Amino acid sequence: MKRFSLLLFSTVLWLIFSCSSESKVRVPKGIWRATLQTKGGELPFGLDIVPNADSATYTVYAINGAERLKMDTATLQGDTLRIPMAIFESEIIAKVANKRMEGIWRKRRIGNTYSELPFTALYGLKYRFEPDGKQAKSDLSGKWATTFRSEGDSSFAIGVFNQKGNKATGTFLTSTGDYRYLEGNVFGDSLLLSCFDGTHVYLFKAFRKPDNTLQGSFWSGASGYETWTARQDSTAELPDATKLTYLKPGHKTLNFKFPDRTGKTVSLQDERFKGKVVVVQILGSWCPNCMDETNFLSPWYKKNKERGVEIVGLAYEKSADLAESAPKLQRMVDRFQIDYPILLAGTNDKAEASKTLPMLNRVIGFPTTIFIDKKGTVREIHTGFSGPGTGKYYDTFVEDFNKLIDKLVAE
């Protein structure tokens, strides 16, 4: 009997200790060096994790260069931390133990299918690709004319890099947007850059050849792969963003009727738009460049709507079914505190999107921004968006945007 009582007492103590130990699992506050294992190798990024007052949730930021991108509220259940980015239908799920996390990053594709990559994070490490020590033989700062190639197709971009010692930041600009904030290192003659922002999973590798050109590889997501070459060119320019999408002959304005997320039909002929300058934003909740533009437009609208300016967003989603896409639009509205209407205009297939606005020659990029004067005439169409990760190119966009609005308001 005594032996049984002793065994029972020991078992109870073990259970109490086990439950207590599990309840004491915590995610240390501070910087973590996180990595995803891709087909191109290790893709690093930073995480800054801050415990909330309830001790069960966390505020998390993804760190890429100058950007600290706030993720959705993270939750800890037992020893499992979930870091969601609902707007992009992705999340990190990881076990926490001894200042280490291991798990997966996954992103919803179609229906109930997901793409996944292994995830690891170590607490207290702040370096990107490798600890300091390796020296850079090349300074890759400046502007690079770049060609990406994939399965016989090619596209032009401009690489813009800033290097200090062996640390590098920058991005690639294209006619339809930019690659957002990239961060990495230059070791010897090799360039390494990466980005993770909840949906973008980018890994760039390149080496400088004897002729001073760059030869590189680019991995994106779970399976994307392209090669790229670049040559330094301070005069490299993209095509004029205001000439790519335009009205077909015989058209002067837009006409559309699309539902908002509640099902209410909205048209440019509605009273709220009459006699006002109108900015039409072609976007998608899945599109990071669109989110960058929305992050600019939402506070701008709050400050300027009393001047006689309206904005309306035309969202092209993965599904044209309002029941499926409305929650995604709501998440976008909530995240960016959008006060202007966001309408479900169709699917994110560019050919199908073009059919919904037949007065345009085509929709070639998300976002596309259309400026309409007080008389309802389209005055300018700007394809793509150079976000804050592009530095001076973003500043130029903001300056040109405000100049055009000032002109249209004054007319």
Q: In whole angstroms, what is the distance from residue 334 CA to residue 83 CA?
A: 18
User: What CATH number should be reported for the domain whose range is 142-232?
Assistant: 2.40.128.120
Tokens standing for 173?
């600009």
Q: What is the pLDDT, as a whole number, of residue 252? A: 96
Would you identify the CATH topology of the domain 257-410? Glutaredoxin (3.40.30)
**Sign of dihedral through CA atoms 336, 344, 409, 358?**
positive
Residue 101 and residue 119 in contact, taking contact as beta carbons nearer than 8 Å: yes
Cβ neighbourhood burial of 54 (10 Å; 0-12, 13-18, 19+): exposed
Residue 144 and residue 231 in contact, taking contact as beta carbons nearer than 8 Å: yes
Tokens standing for 325?
């896409």
Cα–Cα nearest to 76, from 29, 137, 119, 139: 29
Q: What is the pLDDT, as a whole number, of residue 313? A: 98
SS3 string, 91-105, reads EEEEEEECCEEEEEE
Q: 């961060």: which residue's tokens?
A: 183
Q: What is the pLDDT, as a whole number, of residue 132? A: 76
pTM attached to this predicted model: 0.90
Residue 174 and residue 156 in contact, taking contact as beta carbons nearer than 8 Å: yes
Q: In whole angstroms, what is the distance from residue 399 CA to residue 382 CA?
A: 14
Q: What is the pLDDT, as a whole number, of residue 12? A: 39
CATH architecture of the domain formed by 23-123: Beta Barrel (2.40)
pLDDT by residue, tens only, the chain of 411 residues: 444 444 444 443 344 344 444 457 889 999 999 999 999 999 999 999 999 998 889 999 999 999 999 999 999 999 999 999 999 999 999 999 989 999 999 998 877 888 999 999 999 999 999 987 789 999 999 999 999 999 889 999 999 999 999 999 999 999 999 999 999 999 999 999 999 999 999 999 999 999 999 999 999 999 999 999 999 999 999 999 999 999 999 999 999 999 999 999 999 999 999 999 999 999 999 999 999 999 999 999 999 999 999 999 999 999 999 999 999 999 999 999 999 999 999 999 999 999 999 999 999 999 999 999 999 999 999 999 999 999 999 999 999 999 999 999 999
Do the two domains 23-123 and 142-232 of this chain adopt the same fold? yes
Domain borders along the chain are 23-123, 142-232, 257-410
